Amino acid sequence: MDLPFLELDDPLWNLDMTQLTLFIDSGRIKREVKPLEDIGPSLVAGKKFRLLIDRQWKDANGNPLVGSFEKKFLVTSPDRTAPDLNSWWLTSPKAGTRQPVDLNFHEPIDHALALRVISMELKL
């Protein structure tokens, strides 16, 4: 697969350099944008892919990894439907308890994005 990931100047490592975040190039996913039109999609529905992190990669200290990591996955069709906010439901905890608020989306939601854009205000 050619150029599936968004190439960044600064790789997205967590603070202790144990986790690297890879982004599929959004220009190869979004409709009517040049990279998708020129190169085609990064991922194709119905195809199987394998992500392999070879043990020869070096860690933050320059040492080889303990072992290789492999993740296989099957690509499904793109979800081009915007989330329906009216289908979400919220369960409030009972007054005076420390139970959590439960927000159900009825479909998978990007966890990191949800943490950034969903907020609640306590009204007494």
Q: How far apart are CA 79 and CA 86, in angstroms?
A: 18
Beta-bridge mates of residue 48: 74
Please tell me whether the overall predicted TM-score, pTM, comes out greater than 0.85 for this model. no
pLDDT in tens, 7-56: 788 878 888 877 888 887 766 777 777 777 787 777 788 989 898 989 99
pLDDT at residue 27 in the model: 63
